[in-house]
Structure 1
Amino acid sequence: MVFFINFVQTTVSLNFILHKNMITILGPTASGKTSFAAALAAEINAEIISADSRQVYRNMDIGTGKDLDDYKIGDKLIKYHLIDIAEPGTKYNLFEYQKDFYNAYNDIIGRGVTPILCGGTGLYIEAVLNGYKLLPVPENKELRLELEKKDLDELTKLLIQLKRDNKSNMHNSTDIDNKKRAIRAIEIETYYKNCHNLEERNIPPIDSLIFGIEIDRDLRRKRITERLLQRLNNGMVDEVKMLLDRGILPEDLIYYGLEYKYVTKYLINEITYDDMFRSLEIAIHQFAKRQMTWFRGMERRGFKIHWIDFSLPMEQKIKYVKSYL
């Protein structure tokens, strides 16, 4: 509780530096956005701020697709931020991300360097670009006990209604792929619905050029399958087993979804290896589709996204972005 109180107080007094030349690179999974952002950063002497909700966790490398080699361009190592900043098994959240983003952002531009925000977590991207005014949401034990009695379909309907009431964009379908996530999302939306006198916090929106990597659906699906096979061959199952052996509870890994959900289920003998692969492949395809739905929604909400064809050579992609600088 002390952490939250201190943060709210210091947030009000922070002197945010608005930077009109921040660049945002977004796109669905397997679109090559990280390698593009790194190549661009090398070209314009920029630093990258990650916008990935799972790459914040240490020792969760293969399953989250950190691909840290992407940050090596020739003999140059591109500096990145907000990767490996939280312990696996914990539940890093949007409130913490917003705080950490602004710390990294002000550090970068305070040194006269251009920041590149890069990732596929649409909620994180929109929260910082739009200056969402967030408050720490405490645990509501009574509400949780009540919600535990409901099944996932009932929780989903309740969350959808709360979002309508709050006119909220804070949660999407990735928040309702299991009961624990859905309950937390409902807890947050309920808190905001009942807080009628929210304290205004001095968090300005960020003026950023936004570029999206657009990739053909069939090619995206092919790349997702190939990448999944590669990750499994490179030790993704062993990575999850290592986390379990360290004492992280299966339910905490399942909470992270996608690779960690299905590989954990396989390792605790809930599903077979073949079932794990098929279910995970489908889930990642669905996830990529939801990412694109979020980005299209951002456009409807007033964000201008300049789309770049995935198939273009790297030099042309960089040239296209530099034409706007």
Structure 2
Amino acid sequence: MNQQSTAEHALLGAPHQYLTPLTRPSLEEAQSWCRELTRLHYENFHVASMFVPPHARRHFDSIYSYCRVADDLGDEVDDPLVAMRLLDAWGSMLDECYDTPERSMHPVFVALRETIVACELPRQLFHDLLIAFRMDQVKTEYETWQELLDYSHYSANPVGRLVLLVCGYREESIALLSDKICTALQLANFWQDVVEDKERGRRYIPAEWMDRFHIDEGQIEGRIFTPEFGAMIRDLVTRTRAMLAEGGEITRHVDRDLAVTLNLFRKGGDAILSGIAAQEYDVLRGRPVVSKSKKVSLLIGSLFEKLRSRISW
């Protein structure tokens, strides 16, 4: 099988928009593909990239596109065996991007190669994300808080570390603060999506917390809210908010532009937790959301903060 047909069939079974093209795109075409994918998925990572220096945005787009496609290969494919095969193929394409980049055919890896070289990004961070997506195929329940931290080590923390590397920060002490923010964001999403995750056959509330507050597994499926359930979620939210605050110290160790971006991430997570609290911790009656007005407020606040950072007196 020749190089083109190998690439073409590597993602057989993936969502159509992610199939490898028959011809290798140019760097400009690949970067345009990643930019469009990022634009179409209006999420925190894309919004935050608006606040980084223009020369770094293409790197954010390529990293985001790698994460977005990998996430969808794991989550948008019904058969776990097919999802595992697709994730393995994505990992092989990542190794190809590092070892024989001239053979890369997918626009993500054509664009990502430039980012990898320019920012000296280690491949393990990209592979760590795939570990998390593979875990999602086989592990559906979590027993302890530590298990959630271990999962977040792979699912969330690599993204923050990649952002720091793109922005020129390689100190481990700063990366550890980033880990706290990223892990807390992951946990906030878990507490926000309790019902949705249960409908997909997953439970991220650790069993040790359910035992401590005398919560029965059937309460989540039956959406049976009790004072004990509310107390459990309040405890998890409090612990997560403290982690966010601890990670917020990172803004004292980076430049003002990056601090604005990281603050936007942190405030977004804090807004999710506040939304949960506003529902009196009843995440079973509906998914707590950050209102559009709140999102706009966060964006405007970040824009003003960025403008202030540009003014010197």
TM-score, normalised to structure 1, is 0.30
Q: Give the structure, 1 or 2, with the largest relative contact order (CA under 8 Å, sep 6 or more).
A: 1
Give the helix-richer structure, 1 or 2: 2
What is the TM-score with the length of structure 2 in the denominator? 0.31
